[in-house]
Chains A and B, each alone.
Chain A
Amino acid sequence: MKPRTEIKIALAGNPNSGKTSIFNGLTGAHQKVANFPGVTVEKRIGHKNYKDYGITIVDLPGTYSLTAYSLDEKVARDFICQEDPDLVVNVIDSGNLERSLYLTMQLIEMGIDFVIDLNMWDEAVEAGIEIDVDRLSQLLGAPVVKTIGNRAQGIESLLETIIALYEGRKDEHRHPMVSYGSQLDDIVSDLTREVHHCKGCRHCANPRWVAIKLLEDDRDIKRRFLSNREVSAELTKKLNDSLDHLKATTTEDPEIVITEGRYGYVAGIVRKVMSHPKSDRMKMSTSVDNVLTHRIIGYPVFLIIMWLIFQATFSLGQYPMEWIDAGVSILQQWASATISSGMFADMVIDGIIGGIGSVIIFLPNIVILFLGIALLEDSGYMARAAFLMDRLMRYIGLHGKSFIPMLMGFGCSVPAIMATRTLESPRDRILTILLLPLMSCSARLPVYILFAGAFFGAHAGNVIFSIYILGVVVAIIMAQLLRRTILRADDIPFVMELPPYRMPTAKSVVIHMWDRTKIYLQKMGGVILVASIILWALGYFPQKKEFSQDYDAQIAALAVQDTEPAADSIAVLEQARIAEVMEYTVIGRLGQAIKPVVEPLGFNWQMGVALISGFIAKEVVVSSMGVLYQLGEEAEDNFGQLSKVLRDPERGVSPLVAYAFMVFVLLYTPCIVSVLAIKREIGSRWMWFSVVFQMALAWCLTFIVYQGGLLIGLK
């Protein structure tokens, strides 16, 4: 068999142009998600074997332009410029030709070969828009293909065209030059010549594009071309002359003159190829929209939809989570029956199998939440949700789109952190992720129930509610603080397209869901597993060999009696032994070592140990308390008993301490899986920031609550 020729292509296009559906149509399941080098912008790569070719397809971020102002745009153009794809497929929303062609103009300027993909052709036809495809192809100097991405129509002909363009069989790929008006065109030509002659500023890009970008005052291109004074002296001089000349003749910035030039050129093309250019294809959508964003019923409908997603994710997700839990227990039992007991067995059973369990337990949440998000995004409702919530979210300096991850945070921070992928601005993502752990997740609820139930009786509900509110209030204050200090607003305005409502397709929803699940399992699973095993080891070593009393002998002696009081005594002895073992381990010692730190908060050392073990998962706090108070590991089933023991005055826990403890559990560093999710999404620098910041926040606020409470005479 003849070896395949490998070619590399990139998909470029506006957000909402259906680029993803084309990508899915081209690659099917053969795709993977990575990040573009050095940034957290997602890069989807797929592969397709077609005839004699192996085609690697890279899905660039959806952008309207290719400036250096936004990270997505910079990533997209750097890819085109530096990775040198053989050609670009420019995916265009056929119903919105004029806006889409603005990006096409910039591809022409870059001098790259491209295929125009008129996607969502059916919608354009329905709206009565007619496009003269041949004429468009001629005017752009590029082949044009019609597709309906979400029904996988036209993919074959797109592939044919890609191959044909690559083989050079299409002779029309002679792009025109975008004209910006005769005066500017002359200046651009002069400057292009200078760029061309500039020795030492060799660059992958087309000299004309560089000239245009220099005139546009593009900071990135300027840095690359003009920073070396020696080689670029001539060019700098020429550029300054050109800019002076422009300033003398127009009042506008050259950047704006060039932009207007592109629009003028696009308008000219659109006039020639499109009839019925001004139709409102949103008409069908409008009646739906009148309900969904209605002045009065818009919010109730929104709340119902959010409620449904929340319930599906966390209540429906509860069932498979229980099955997974049960499955893990069965596996552990099987393992303990198979492997002879000893340290190795303990490591396999509690460390490895337990660790795997802690990874896959979140799967149901992630799968269901991303099913919901995929439906919201593909149907077009996500943009409306952001439209409805924007005003409210702006109080905390966030975008309307941040609402959904924030809401999910009350269920579980892990899927919520992953859901911030829907936010475009990196700053919004960082801010949202930093605030997310303040939304009290469901794993913290057992701790509240235990303490509030034990100390506040009939008022427990109100007390727990106050903790939730406290989290939200702290989030609002922190948001104000953060965006005035380290996360200042970048100047990107909130302009968001409201796409027409569409019926989501099963294929794209499934792919979207599977993507997230894969990221979770591949990119995070391994690290979580290792971290769980390490934490297990910290709670296992060093092993205590010598005990304060000879438990084994006492138990053996009691066992002979075979009476009920004897059995009870055995249980008490075993608990005491477990507690001694736990105190002896690294975690136990840490808990005792941090006593001076937690004492000002009113906590005893058992509480300190429980908090450290809560790093594995917040609900572990309760079971650790159970062990430390010698009630056995099944403290969750033993709530009543544990709360009775907690109330025992000799234990030193008062209602004030209990409340302080709840405040601390609300605010302190999220569980290990969340921390790793944060690292995965925004990098280790922000992860450490989040860890330290939450810790400091928890300590300070708890200190204020406890010491303040003492001052005003609370107990």
Chain B
Amino acid sequence: MTTETKTSLDKLRQGQKGKVLAVAGYGAIRRRLYDLGLHAGEVITMVKTAPLKDPLEISFGNGHVSIRRSEAALITVEPLPD
């Protein structure tokens, strides 16, 4: 397969879904992302970006969350077909 199967969360297109593979970072940041439900296996939808392109609005489970681009970059996802 030639297409990239791994990317980071901030690279998803609007409306695209991705499955979390891993969360990078360390200590509190990482733990916090986990505690909020961003853990491996979770399917995340990129809802939209704020008018200034940052932060991002994502949805997973049954809720919507705002996350900064720099933090989304810590989350490796596998983009899912639409």
Contact = CB atoms under 8 A, between A and B. Distances in A.
Interface of A: 64-65, 67, 69-70, 95-99, 102, 127, 129, 255-256, 259-260, 263, 277-282, 293-296, 298-299, 383, 386-388, 390-392, 400, 490-499
Contacts of A282: 59, 63-64
Contacts of A492: 28-29, 32
Nearest to A270: B61
A98 B28 contact: no
Q: Which 8 A-B pairs have the closest CB atoms?
A: A65-B35, A391-B52, A491-B28, A498-B64, A69-B28, A96-B62, A493-B71, A496-B66
Contact of B35 (A64, A96, A97): A64
Interface string B59-73: 101111111100100
5 contacts: A70-B28, A256-B34, A259-B31, A496-B65, A497-B64
B39 to A, nearest CB: 5
A387 B55 contact: yes
B interface, how many residues as a size bin?
20 to 34
B33 interface: yes
Contacts of B41: 263
Contact of A498 (B39, B61, B65, B68): B65
A379 B52 CA distance: 23
Nearest to A392: B52
B51 interface: yes
B62 A494 contact: no
Given A260-B39, A494-B71, A391 B65 contact: no
Given A69-B31, A492-B29, A498 B51 contact: no
B80 interface: no
Contacts of B71: 493-495
B28 A490 contact: yes
B29 A491 contact: yes
B16 to A, nearest CB: 15
Contact of B51 (A256, A277, A293, A496): A293
Contacts, number: 120
Interface in B38-68: 38-41, 48, 50-55, 57, 59, 61-68
Contact of A495 (B52, B53, B61, B67): B67
A495 B65 contact: yes
Given A98-B37, A387-B57, A496-B66, A299 B28 contact: no
B57 A391 contact: no
A494 B67 contact: yes
A277 B50 CA distance: 28
Interface of B: 27-41, 48, 50-55, 57, 59, 61-68, 71
A296 B35 CA distance: 34
A80 to B, nearest CB: 17
B59 to A, nearest CB: 7
Given A98-B62, A282-B63, A495-B33, 17 more contacts: A69-B27, A95-B63, A97-B62, A98-B37, A260-B40, A281-B62, A293-B51, A388-B50, A390-B68, A492-B28, A492-B29, A492-B32, A493-B33, A493-B67, A495-B38, A495-B66, A498-B66
Contacts of B48: 293
B50 to A, nearest CB: 5
Nearest to A500: B64
Contact of B36 (A64, A260, A296): A64
A390 B55 contact: yes
A255 B62 contact: no
A277 B42 CA distance: 13
B31 to A, nearest CB: 6
Contacts of B34: 256, 259
Contacts of A386: 66
A279 B29 contact: no
A493 B32 contact: yes
Contacts of B36: 64, 99, 495
A497 B67 CA distance: 9
Contact of A494 (B37, B38, B68): B68
